[in-house]
Chain A
């Protein structure tokens, strides 16, 4: 598949909450797909980092998550919808250093309160919606028609 045809790539991945031993596998697969599609390396890295952070959040905090990867000639869209505790104060969660991580999460090298800010930093467009007690949805978008020098 090349980026020149008008085909839209759409693929879904399931992430299991609490499954620390497989954490990061979905992002690794997505990175391979992006590389194979010939997407600009700087965007591949930014998208991989963003989806990896988001995947870790699902593993750490949610019961399960669905990742939808949608690629059109114009943009790369990663949607993460999780079922879980949600976030009651998004402004607080977006602050670097704010975290509700457990000891286990910190032992994995995560839970430093850098995840959401880092996703936002890497994305061209970032949207977060959360319903406490239900779950969180992230929209992470990258524009493919730019050179990617964000």
Chain B
């Protein structure tokens, strides 16, 4: 599924990375706890999070996440957005809460990170 499809399913706004919406996303994982993201994250993951400080973007960069979707309408601060732009990490924001975000993407066929072999 492409980022563009994800944007439409979640009715999300694109904070940065408008030109990367054709990127293919193959799995996702959701957490507000960056320690957990560092423990379960795999390169290429779509990170769903409600943690909107710049640590979320730095963590995504460390694990080579493909993009971040912020839930509950959150958006990172300017520094986080600038960093994401530098590193080429698209950022999206949806008004949906975490459960609904995960559920919608899952029901559209996007598997979770733990389902990978």
The interface of chain A, by Cβ under 8 A from chain B, is 21, 23-25, 27-28, 31, 41, 45, 48-49, 52-53, 107-115, 118, 121
Label chain A's interface by main secondary structure: helix
> Contact between A49 and B62 (Cβ–Cβ < 8 Å)?
yes
> Contact between B43 and A109 (Cβ–Cβ < 8 Å)?
no
B53 at the interface (CB under 8 A from A): yes
> Contact between B53 and A112 (Cβ–Cβ < 8 Å)?
no
- The one of A21, A24, A25, A41 in contact with B59, judged by C-beta atoms closer than 8 angstroms, is A24
**A-chain residues with CB within 8 Å of residue B35 when the two chains form the complex:** 53, 109-115, 118
**B-chain residues with CB within 8 Å of residue A111 when the two chains form the complex:** 35
B38 at the interface (CB under 8 A from A): yes
Looking at chain B, what size class is its interface with the partner chain? 20 to 34
For residue A101, give the distance in angstroms from its CB to the closest CB of chain B.
10
> Contact between A31 and B34 (Cβ–Cβ < 8 Å)?
no
> Contact between B43 and A41 (Cβ–Cβ < 8 Å)?
yes
**Complexed CA–CA distance, A107 and B55 (Å):** 10
- In the complex formed, the residue of A with least CB distance to B79 is A21
For residue B42, give the distance in angstroms from its CB to the closest CB of chain A.
9
> Contact between A52 and B59 (Cβ–Cβ < 8 Å)?
yes
> Contact between B33 and A109 (Cβ–Cβ < 8 Å)?
yes
**Complexed CA–CA distance, A25 and B62 (Å):** 10
**A-chain residues with CB within 8 Å of residue B37 when the two chains form the complex:** 109
**B-chain residues with CB within 8 Å of residue A110 when the two chains form the complex:** 33-35, 55
**Complexed CA–CA distance, A107 and B52 (Å):** 10
* Chain B window 22-37, contacts with chain A (Cβ cutoff 8 Å), 1 for yes, 0 for no: 0000000000111111
